[in-house]
A and B are shown apart, each in its own frame.
Chain A
Amino acid sequence: MGTTKIIFSGFGGQGVLTLGQVVADIALNQGKEVTWMPSYGAEMRGGTANCSVIISDKVIGSPIILSNIDILCAMNQPSVDKFLDKTRAGAKVFINSSIVTDTVVKDDAEIIAIDATNIAVKAGNARTANMVMMAGFLAQTGLFTIDELEAALSRRFKGKAELVEVNMKAIKEGLQALA
């Protein structure tokens, strides 16, 4: 597989750091090398937040991603503005199209629009929009299976089966919308 460089970005509170941690945890359990690095400026709720996740078969040097992004998960417009130009040719770009209203164009990238916030609201919890984006990863990246994802959520929400259920519901709604 080599090395995959992923950026998760969105408003603070949209759960982008969590998304990155869940993906990193899955990679760890797949026996891969992985780093998770958050932006840690003076962030606040409603501000922008992002994290870089690098997954590799070999030891990872710098945990920072500055260019050649393989996968971008952009939960809001500022994230698109900030990172789209830094994706590599052939990159997969997941867009939360509920909020990103400008048309996203990059000729050499594969843009995958997901109506994440609206699907999450329909599934019963707007806060699970991040998990709807995860459905895009399941359907399009081949990085992990739904079972591996569910296992990671179970580790994260140990003893809180209802939270795993809420998140899995959002993921399944997302998968249906993408089918």
Chain B
Amino acid sequence: MMSKVLMKGNEAICDAAIRAGCKAFFGYPITPQNEVPEYMTKKLPEAGGVFVQAESETSAINMVYGAAAAGIRVMTSSSSPGIALKQEGISYLVGADLPCVIVSVSRAGPGLGGILPAQSDYFQATRGGGNGDYYLPVYAPFSIQEAMDLVFKAFDVADEYRTPVMVLFDGMLGQMMEPCTPVDKKPGNFDKKWAANGNSDGRAPNAVSSLSLKGEVLEQMNLRRFKTYDDIKAKETMVDNRVTDGDEVAIVAYGTPARIVLNAIEILKEQGIKAGLVRPITLWPFPYADFANLPASVKNVVVCELSMGQMVEDVRLGVNGKLPVHFYGRTGGMIFEPEEIAEQIKKIIGK
């Protein structure tokens, strides 16, 4: 058992990535994720890897494509407007079935917006801005320990399903420190027969491309990819559902705001109101089933996000009209307080 260390979120995920066998990092600076490239520029070469500060986000994601095509475990990181610039590359990575890990430390938008924490990039992460029919697994940690564990896992999931995987959290988690135990596991070992990594052994050359001009062929490729998505939905959906029978309200939040909701639930409890948290850990695949199967005691569902309301759409799909789904959010980098959420909940349930 490794002992606990005190680390910033942005550094902790790098430690996890290196332990997962990440051997290449390409990035471009943007607040609030600059500790990621700062850490990688020093530690990745020490671990036998390569760090390149690219000339732009677009360039960085295309370098990721190159390394992934060569079968190397590779990561990039950015923040909201930077992730927007990477969307084309992400679509190409999907089209070429290339595994990689993309860390998105989100900030307030739209446009350049501000550098304070926000969750207004839920759609960007789960629906994407790239072209074509595709999804990516998206992990949303709420503690530094979970961020470490999920980044480590993301590399295995990426390789297993041959897909880019995103880890999404806000600047709060990136900047804060709390005790965490570095991952002490062996990364998965995947035989990448498809990799374009030299064929001096005499095997037929591999080609990696997202171009497919024949409709019949491309349709089959897309159908196969969506079969993989069914697999991912069945095996990789993660949720922290703390709603128990007797709770009258289910509060839904992901990432660090879920921690604020936990404080709000304590306040409500002191006032005799029973509420439980549902915290999606994978935003895609989304844990729809948990919302279809809430205990009968739950009369209201309240979604709290640091946005104008994005995940609330998925919650409504999950609840499917069975219960009223309410929303409370703050935007622009403003963060709600536990007391504020407790007040909103009381207003919603009429207490």
Q: Which residues of A contact B (CB under 8 A)?
A: 21, 24-25, 28, 33-38, 40-42, 60-64, 66
Note all chain B residues with C-beta closer than 8 A to A34: 6, 178-179
CA distance A58 to B176 in the complex (A): 18
The contact string, 1 if C-beta is below 8 Å from chain A, for chain B 140-175, is 000000000000000000000000000000011001
Note all chain B residues with C-beta closer than 8 A to A40: 31-32, 115, 171, 175
Q: What 4 new A-B contacts, CB under 8 Å, besides A21-B177, A35-B177?
A: A35-B178, A38-B175, A63-B256, A64-B172
Would A63 and B115 be within 8 Å (CB), given that A36-B178, A37-B172 are in contact? Answer: no
Note all chain A residues with C-beta closer than 8 A to B5: 28
The contact string, 1 if C-beta is below 8 Å from chain A, for chain B 256-282, is 100110110010000000000000000
Contact of B6 among A36, A38, A60, A64 (CB under 8 A): A36
- The reply to whether B263 and A36 contact each other, CB–CB distance below 8 Å, is no
Shortest distance between the CB of A58 and any CB in chain B (Å): 10
- The reply to whether A63 and B6 contact each other, CB–CB distance below 8 Å, is no
Would A36 and B115 be within 8 Å (CB), given that A61-B263, A62-B263 are in contact? Answer: no
- The reply to whether B176 and A36 contact each other, CB–CB distance below 8 Å, is yes
Contact of A61 among B4, B32, B335, B338 (CB under 8 A): B338
CA distance A174 to B259 in the complex (A): 38
Contact of B172 among A25, A60, A63, A66 (CB under 8 A): A63
Shortest distance between the CB of B279 and any CB in chain A (Å): 12
Contact of A64 among B115, B171, B260, B266 (CB under 8 A): B260
Q: Judge if B337 is at the interface, Cβ distance under 8 Å.
A: yes
Query: Across chains A and B, which 6 residue pairs bring their CB atoms closest together, nearest first?
Result: A36-B177, A61-B263, A61-B262, A62-B260, A37-B176, A61-B259
The chain A residue sitting closest to B171, CB to CB, is A40
Q: Which residues of B contact A (CB under 8 A)?
A: 4-6, 31-32, 115-116, 171-172, 175-179, 256, 259-260, 262-263, 266, 335, 337-338
Note all chain B residues with C-beta closer than 8 A to A33: 178-179
Interface centre among B32, B175, B335 (most CB of A within 10 A): B175
Note all chain A residues with C-beta closer than 8 A to B115: 40-42
Note all chain B residues with C-beta closer than 8 A to A61: 259-260, 262-263, 266, 338
CA distance A60 to B178 in the complex (A): 10
- The reply to whether B6 and A24 contact each other, CB–CB distance below 8 Å, is yes
Shortest distance between the CB of A19 and any CB in chain B (Å): 13
A-B contact pairs, 26 of them (CB 8 A): A21-B6, A24-B6, A24-B177, A25-B6, A28-B4, A33-B179, A34-B6, A34-B178, A34-B179, A35-B177, A36-B176, A36-B177, A36-B178, A37-B175, A41-B115, A42-B115, A60-B178, A60-B259, A61-B259, A61-B262, A61-B263, A62-B256, A62-B263, A63-B176, A63-B178, A63-B256
Note all chain B residues with C-beta closer than 8 A to A60: 178, 259
Note all chain A residues with C-beta closer than 8 A to B262: 61-62
The chain B residue sitting closest to A59, CB to CB, is B262
Note all chain A residues with C-beta closer than 8 A to B172: 37, 63-64
Shortest distance between the CB of B106 and any CB in chain A (Å): 14
Note all chain B residues with C-beta closer than 8 A to A38: 175-176
The chain A residue sitting closest to B259, CB to CB, is A61
